[in-house]
Amino acid sequence: MDKYLKNYGQWIDETWDKLDKKLSKVAVKSREKIPYTTVDGVHDNRGETDPSWWTNGFWGALMWIMYIGTKNDVYKDTAVRAEELLDAAFDKFDGLHHDVGFMWNISSGTNYRLFGDKEAKKRWDYANALLASRFNAEGGFVRAWPSWGENADNTGVTIIDCMMNIPMLYRASVLAKDDRFKFIAETHARMTMRDHIRPDGSVHHIVRHDPHTGDVVENIAGQGYAVGSSWSRGQAWAVYGFVLSYLHTQNEEYLDVAKKVAHYFIANVAATDYLPLVDFRSPDEPVMYDSTAGACAACGLIEIARCVPEHEKKIYIDAAMKMLVAIEKEWCNWEENEDAVLMMGTEAYHKEDGHHIPIIYGDFFFAEALLKLKGNDFLIW
């Protein structure tokens, strides 16, 4: 990989140092919070207002990424505190969903893997049990959400994002020596290949299945522009999620899917100077971006580059670097009066108060990408 990164060595080191300089202070300042975004430059506390919010594991995980890259105990201390604060989510059991993978795999899972912490293991085991319990054995998929009230039947709903939750199950299989977890993850991954991935490499965000047969009933637009459009973060979940499935199983089919979606992503993002739009199939106006899609996709592209033969690597590493450099130049905020790093994240195409804001997982994936580029191969997923 080094030969493909030689022109970027200085950029990688300088950007990591800026990240460390800023986050080592923010880690102390926001120690008693689980942030989601910032308000007037100050981290909010989503852990307090919505304990089971799906992103609540990313803050602790960001701290772990920085700890792994620096060995600075300030990050470890805040990561451990974030995990304790996250316990409030277990009390809100009925608010939980398939994103227990996002919430506890990269937070408690990391603490357990790094330090063998028993409390962290308990949390991680509990999250695995919760995720496995969402498996619909008849339909062959992991159900995304509980039903929201009497009129919202989510029994048959799957979403592309879940490809980032199932890596926890692969790990559980190995660590618990119990193949049931892997069976669930692989069954879900095969469903996703079949029902979410379109022939051109774009992705359906939400699919409703018949809960008894697994047959597709309808595609639902979700956070993109419309049914049939191409929500860029969903594309990114697929790029990174499928290469993760490959890394955990060595099944080449998953790597092929990751590459196919990556090719679609790269072709689209190249058309906008490597700054990803929220949706690759949306009207020309308004122009709306999503930095988080780029940061997450970059992590997936770097992992693909690590897996493919020599003569393929350049395609993926070049695209990841062009995206990260463009994102850093245009959208990173290194000022001390702003707690977040990555600006310009977007929650959903049609959610106007969630456009072009900092979102915690943008910072997480940006840091994760940099850690990989520095040559560290700890796979947090």
Q: Which residue has the tokens 């039903």?
A: 147
Nearer to ligand GLY, 233 or 259 (CB): 233
Nearer to ligand GLY, 171 or 233 (CB): 233
Binding of ligand GLY by 346 (CB under 6 A)? no
Q: Around 174, how many Cα atoms within 13 Å sit in the side-chain half-sphere? A: 7
Residue selected from 33, 43, 196, 233 as contacting ligand GLY according to rule CB under 6 A: 233
Instruction: Work out how close the CB of 54 gets to ligand GLY at its nearest, in angstroms, rounded to a whole number.
Output: 6
313 closest CA partner among 324, 304, 325 = 304
Instruction: Work out how close the CB of 252 gets to ligand GLY at its nearest, in angstroms, rounded to a whole number.
Output: 27
Instruction: Work out how close the CB of 206 gets to ligand GLY at its nearest, in angstroms, rounded to a whole number.
Output: 11
Binding of ligand GLY by 223 (CB under 6 A)? yes
Instruction: Work out how close the CB of 107 gets to ligand GLY at its nearest, in angstroms, rounded to a whole number.
Output: 16
Nearer to ligand GLY, 67 or 365 (CB): 365
By CB under 6 A, the residues from 53 to 82 that bind ligand GLY are 54
Nearer to ligand GLY, 110 or 223 (CB): 223
Please, are residues 290 and 232 in contact by the beta-carbon 8 Å criterion?
Answer: yes
Please, are residues 280 and 235 in contact by the beta-carbon 8 Å criterion?
Answer: yes
What would the two tokens of residue 353 be?
Answer: 């108060």
| Rounded Cα distance, 89 and 195, in Å | 31
Please, are residues 276 and 289 in contact by the beta-carbon 8 Å criterion?
Answer: yes
CA distance to 122, 124, 132, 135, per residue, from 180 (Å): 18, 16, 9, 11
The SS3 call for residue 155 is coil
| Rounded Cα distance, 111 and 147, in Å | 32
Nearer to ligand GLY, 54 or 280 (CB): 54
By CB under 6 A, the residues from 176 to 205 that bind ligand GLY are none
The SS3 call for residue 208 is strand
Binding of ligand GLY by 279 (CB under 6 A)? no
Instruction: Work out how close the CB of 354 gets to ligand GLY at its nearest, in angstroms, rounded to a whole number.
Output: 9
Residue selected from 161, 195, 290, 339 as contacting ligand GLY according to rule CB under 6 A: 161
What would the two tokens of residue 38 be?
Answer: 């910032």
Instruction: Work out how close the CB of 196 gets to ligand GLY at its nearest, in angstroms, rounded to a whole number.
Output: 14
Q: Within 10 A of 77 (CB to CB), how many other CB atoms are there?
A: 15
Q: Give Cα 78 distance to the centre of its chain.
A: 20
Closest-approach residue to ligand GLY (CB): 161
Using CB under 6 A, count the residues that bind ligand GLY: 5
Instruction: Work out how close the CB of 103 gets to ligand GLY at its nearest, in angstroms, rounded to a whole number.
Output: 11
Nearer to ligand GLY, 81 or 233 (CB): 233
Nearer to ligand GLY, 75 or 264 (CB): 264
Task: Name the residues that contact ligand GLY, by CB under 6 A.
Answer: 54, 161, 223, 233, 347
